[in-house]
Structure 1
């Protein structure tokens, strides 16, 4: 008998409390803390020596000796001119859909009258400059250019820079499809830098050996990457804002016996295709579906292009078929798992999806596969991984906005509340706080 390409975890009858389930669900071995010690000297070198360090690390890690980190404008124009028309049309439609969603999500300023003569306004102001990271490794991600850039543009960010690893196969430039996507979006500032050195370059800025500023520091760094990119983002957080520490991609599918086993298997494979550490998890109360999905995986993995990579991901400890008592227990499991991508393929899928609390994005029913969200749903595919969806949301226009409170009180409104301010200042033993108010109303 052929061994199933994915293991099983039986949680039938198991306690459904979050602590127990978080310990039971499969996870990848990913030690960001260990990677942190490896990237710390890289980030320090970039902070101290600027582009000289960036160029040295690019040659060491990417095997490319660059004269400059900046991608020439002509290379962007040439990449767009050479873009396959079908790919261009697909990117343009993706841009249109993502822009439509992000524009609708942008928060608007709001003013609240607290009392007559006293208002608080929350203004939503874009950050001034952002650095957007687009990975380049086993796959090419022009879609990640779109998912990074469009929300920043819709937020109103004035200065947008993109970086992606230098590629030996393309003369030290990022992949031409990535450059074409940048050109299509009107992004002119693009760098051929990857890894931790790219994150440090954006966080600290970078000068050349003559002291000239080559890359201005940014306010926020976003975008997915490998464990070293995640570690570098952790290291520079506080110097700059970050979206999240993205790790290997993951998918969970909550399915019952109404689901099509072929669809479920195809969706698990689609995310396993990313990386050998990618996680693919099926949660189901149906043993019949579990067995059918195992059979489908056997056939489909063997037939697909990246079968070796996919087989490694599916057989890794981060992937599993999880058996549960019923859909209610399955909901508890997927909420504990907090998937980057969560598909609901059950009876009453919309009602079940409405009860999901932890997920980066939820895909409802048989006709909303994760692949749709990766490209053309209009949603964003830069999402929290590794269970962080329990506290972090996906990249959006909000990532690039800051709420600023504007307080405006007239004399009468301040006089009316002054006794409360004085009482709280005394209670906290901060009398000068109260005096800052009472000084405005001197005794006659």
Structure 2
């Protein structure tokens, strides 16, 4: 059975509640003890005053002044349960129902009772068992020891304590509520940095941030630093894995494509090469998918402009005008190298087949960015568009190329849960549209 709550907040609340309860119980016990002591001292002073009055009726020779006692009765019997008694060696005077008192502790010489000195407390009980509180002193006289006693009902001590306990308990209950409210506020405020740190980690996972703010309380600052160090290590490992996957893809792409072209007249061998190519692409796709950077972010407008300039400079055919229409704020959650390869392949394909114009447009559609590359070339027949995006397929044998550009663009876009579609442009050319996930706003 689990005694402690599973959350830090629950544990802090449980410990605070236990500590508050223990503190209030101890405080209540101590206050009750102090209150009982004060009330008892007040009763003792009253009983000592009665004993002092009784002492005035005892002569130096141990005789009792009955006239003096009769005059003191009104003061000695102050109320119900208040009693007095004088015990001499030969007689006992006082209240008829004076309770039996317990013997006092042994004196210095072993005798019971106190001789001289101040009155001492005594406890006793009435005939019905009701406890009483008394004070007693023993005087030494030539006629023998004279014991003076005064008692009061125990209720005169317990009643004030009970009367004070009600408001005291109410005060302690109010104090416990205030302490509980203070504990809730303290825990909520104290755990706020943890909630902020959790939100920062969630933002990193969603790609909105790249690092946890290190401006944290002293207890959390080392944790924030370690999280950032872990993120840097993971990023370095991710980049290494991506580079390895990309290098392997580029190293195998051309040899396999060349082998496929050489064996196109040998169907059996060509099918084996296709199986090899499919297996390589399958495992490379899985490897690249596992190392996809969720924090990647590319501004579409400047990246497309750079690609357009590069493709224009490398174009060996007739000059082609590349027009771009992209909103400056559009960004996609794609690795920059993958974005260059996707859009670069589409641009190279468009420029290779264009008569003189290529247009690049981009727009946001829901949670995706749609990038369309349109040329004014001859286009592709609708029944051939599905084949055009298959690896190693070339519908036009003119010029260079291995027929992998559109296939690579399709595979990479699908890696980011997007896609590539081909359609006939309004002017008769080809319009290749790639869909990529939009990038979340980032707090740098």
TM-score range, shorter chain: under 0.3
More helix by share: 2
Higher RCO (CA < 8 A, seq sep 6+)? 1
TM-score normalised according to structure 2 size: 0.20
TM-score normalised according to structure 1 size: 0.20
